[in-house]
Chains A and B, each alone.
Chain A
């Protein structure tokens, strides 16, 4: 993992530099929208990073990952609605609930493989989605406006947009670091081993089911944190963030950027959202360009954009 001066590393470094400079840039041109757009990008990149942990490294393709965005968001939203504004209470509780739900879903789902796993995670996410739609007290389908962001006393003020952006960025980098530490540990090796040959890893004494479950719970928790941030960013939470198409978007972001690559999800998220913003500015029919572009990336760039940059085929 020695950083060398490859094209890919240069791009990642430039991207990170750009992300760090976004608030400066926004301040100079006096346009807060850029900051808002990039806050959203950074938060979704965090969700994509967590999905990459199970999908890219663990081979567990979750088609219900957006559910944790909703869970994290709803814990914040519901507590705020009931008058509990302290972030010291909201955040740990949100993470705990995300972890617990991930644990239950993982426990039941990890017996299945491949496409069956994709569909069972979708099933659970759909159930959670419909629970959200039926929460009449908390706005049901209309969602819930969050009037005050999580309060952390004098420690940090989330209502300051620049502060909030940097917090999100730091948490994103922390998640990427966590994923890096995990996949390079014994635990991570076992997870990656179990992806290609579960029986062998099991035979040499790894409790693969427990490892995979742990991995699944960690990913769910990180995504729950992204949900906490998203709710604080949009000051709003609704079942729409948990719709299955949003889980699909997350998968697309990861695959587009490059699966099983540390910075792939970040690259994919930036590319996905920036392309969307850019193309939709050019033509109303932007999806007629965007769609074939995705197809072309699959056909001609194995391993997503990251694979394209690395110039080699990943496996």
Chain B
């Protein structure tokens, strides 16, 4: 039981992190119709910025705030310099161009920070464990990731549903022509959305950095999972991304946690030891394939999207 509660929290934490990454991706995809492989680069930059600024200012919170601002700025700059020229182009042009950006950012980070990677040191009040249930200790930091990510998810929901900017975003996701027809500040909206998406990815990256450290190329593998999330959730749907992210996070963790023991019931211990890691690695992809075979446009396709 204790095991189960803890594993559930592990999965939830991973899922929420995926959501932060997927939210920006699905917005940019839904509104600008842009496939951005370089989204993972913002995740990486967030981590490196936070590690640098925390060391520089000596304050964890200060470092985080500065890192978020920096990622937002880099995101907006990338949009202005490169992305806005790509909106009307084919998806494959996006793939090639943003693939080029990945290479650029990885090499840039290596040039600036060196190949070894960086640590983000947690303040002591975060680096402890708390008793969440009688006799169940859980990492304070992982718990705070859950809280922060949930707060961001709620804020995002309120902005998208209750504000004028949110209305424009929603309109854009379901009907791009209409929002262009409105004509007002459309460029600014795009830059803003792209920047916020980048900052959200940066937030995910810097929160992970305290657990996984900042590494070159850290964004690529998790980006694939973020794509899995927005595909399962349905492109352009924040709600879909949220549900799918939690789902993927739980599946992944539960697979790693319980699959080996489950397989031992059916197979010999040796066969189970071989099959379990392979099966738990491919579990997410298996689930995505099944979902797409049954529902070819994801679980919650945004209205009006292809």
Contacts and interface: CB of A to CB of B under 8 A. Distances in A.
Complex contact flag A–B (Cβ < 8 Å): yes
Interface in A218-269: 244-245, 248, 251-252, 255-256, 259
A258 to B, nearest CB: 11
A298 interface: yes
Interface string B169-191: 00000000000000000000000
A88 to B, nearest CB: 32
Contacts of A286: 107
Given A130-B282, A244-B224, A291-B104, A113 B93 contact: no
Contacts of B58: none
Interface class of chain A by DSSP: helix
Interface residues of A, number: 44
Interface string A278-299: 0000000111101111110111
A130 B281 contact: yes
Nearest to B93: A298
A120 B29 CA distance: 17
Contact of A291 (B29, B102, B111, B275): B102
Interface in B227-257: 227-228, 231, 235
Contacts, number: 130
B297 A119 contact: no
B104 A136 contact: no
A134 to B, nearest CB: 4
A259 B92 contact: yes
B111 A127 contact: no
A122 B96 CA distance: 17
Given A115-B235, A287-B106, A251 B82 contact: no
B231 A124 contact: no
A61 interface: yes
A32 to B, nearest CB: 30
Nearest to A112: B296
Given A112-B292, A123-B286, A252-B99, A299 B82 contact: yes
Interface in A143-171: none
Contact of A131 (B86, B89, B278): B278
A288 B216 CA distance: 14
A131 B275 CA distance: 9
B124 interface: no
A20 interface: no
A214 interface: no
Contact of B92 (A61, A122, A136, A297): A61
A215 B93 CA distance: 23
Contact of A292 (B100, B111, B275): B100
Contacts of B155: none
A116 interface: yes
Contact of B96 (A111, A112, A256): A256
B103 interface: yes
A290 B101 CA distance: 9
B214 interface: no
A100 interface: no
B292 A295 contact: no
A131 B93 CA distance: 31
Interface in A64-122: 108-109, 111-116, 119-120, 122
B107 A288 contact: yes
A9 interface: no
Nearest to A127: B282
B292 A120 contact: yes
Most buried by A among B95, B110, B111, B227: B95
A291 B288 contact: no
Given A108-B293, A116-B296, A288-B104, A297 B288 contact: no
Nearest to B106: A287
B92 A251 contact: yes
Contacts of B108: 288
Given A119-B228, A288-B108, A295 B101 contact: yes
Pairs of residues from A and B, 4 with the lowest C-beta to C-beta distance, nearest first: A294-B100, A291-B104, A291-B103, A134-B278
Given A112-B292, A130-B278, 9 more contacts: A111-B296, A114-B306, A119-B231, A122-B224, A127-B285, A252-B99, A285-B111, A287-B104, A293-B100
14 contacts: A113-B306, A120-B288, A124-B285, A127-B282, A127-B285, A127-B289, A248-B99, A252-B95, A256-B96, A287-B103, A290-B103, A291-B99, A291-B100, A298-B89
Interface of A: 55, 61, 108-109, 111-116, 119-120, 122-124, 126-127, 130-131, 133-134, 136, 244-245, 248, 251-252, 255-256, 259, 285-288, 290-295, 297-299, 302
Interface of B: 29, 35, 82, 85-86, 89, 91-93, 95-97, 99-108, 110-111, 220, 224, 227-228, 231, 235, 274-275, 277-279, 281-282, 285-286, 288-289, 292-293, 296-298, 306
